[in-house]
Amino acid sequence: MITLQEIQQNIAEAIRTSGMTQSALAKKLGVSQQTVSHYVKGDKLPAPDTLANLCRILDADANDILGLR
């Protein structure tokens, strides 16, 4: 079973790997830096459209983020 913590870790790793700051990612996503911080901490998940955009911006595979591989 996939947990919220695993998804959070995958999002955090994708951000680290990209070299992009949370602030820069937030601007590109059109959300606040605090919202991106919530994704990284596992307090909340991005909406499906935001997750798709996050994957596109970070050049990350959604299956990897969601732990489906």
Q: pLDDT tens track of the chain, all 69 residues?
A: 899 899 999 999 999 999 999 999 999 999 999 999 999 998 999 999 999 999 999 999 999 999 998
Each domain of the chain, given as residue ranges in start order, spans 4-65
For the whole model, what pTM was predicted? 0.90
pLDDT at 34: 97
DSSP string for the chain: ---HHHHHHHHHHHHHHHT--HHHHHHHHTS-HHHHHHHHHTS-PPPHHHHHHHHHHHT--HHHHTT--
Q: Counting Cβ atoms within 10 Å, is residue 15 exposed (0-12), middle (13-18) or buried (19+)?
A: buried
Q: How far is CA 13 from the centre of its chain?
A: 9
Query: For 4-65, which CATH class?
Result: mainly alpha
